[in-house]
C-alpha cells in the first residue's frame, strides 16, 4: 500500500486496553439491531466508530458498554451490508456532520 506511511495503526492486547486507549471518547457501535439511524444521529468529531464481524456482529458484553448503537438504514429484505461498505458510509456521514471531511 503506497499510503501506509500516512495511516496510524494501533493494536491493543484486548478490549480493556482499547477502552483505556480511547479514554472518555464516545464509543458508537454500528449494528443492524439498532433502531437509531446514523443519518439522524448527532456525531461528534472525536467519536470512535465500532463495527463487528460480518458473520457474527458484536458480542453482547462489548455492545453493552458502547455509548450508543446506530444503524445504516436499508431495505427490510437486506440482512446486512459488507463491512467495508458499512464503515465507509458511516465514516462519510460522521465526517460530513462534523465538517471534518478532508479537502
Phi first, then psi, for residue 5 (nearest 5°) are: -70, -10
Q: Which neighbouring-strand residues pair with 30? A: 51, 70
Whole-model pTM: value is 0.89
Dihedral of alpha carbons 12, 30, 2, 99, sign: negative
pLDDT in tens, 26-82: 999 999 889 999 999 999 999 999 998 888 889 999 999 999 999 999 888 887 788
Tell me, which fold does domain 26-97 have in CATH? Alpha/beta knot (3.40.1280)
Domain boundaries, the chain: 26-97
Amino acid at each position: 500500500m503506497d499510503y501506509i506511511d500516512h495511516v496510524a495503526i494501533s493494536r491493543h492486547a484486548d478490549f480493556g486496553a482499547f477502552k483505556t486507549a480511547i479514554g472518555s471518547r464516545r464509543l458508537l457501535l454500528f449494528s443492524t439491531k439498532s433502531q437509531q439511524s446514523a443519518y439522524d444521529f448527532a456525531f461528534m468529531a472525536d467519536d470512535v466508530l465500532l463495527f463487528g464481524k460480518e458473520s457474527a456482529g458484536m458480542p453482547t458484553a462489548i455492545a453493552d458498554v458502547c455509548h450508543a448503537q446506530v444503524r445504516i438504514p436499508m431495505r427490510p429484505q437486506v440482512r446486512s451490508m459488507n463491512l467495508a461498505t458499512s464503515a465507509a458510509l458511516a465514516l462519510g456521514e460522521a465526517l460530513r456532520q462534523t465538517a471534518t471531511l478532508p479537502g
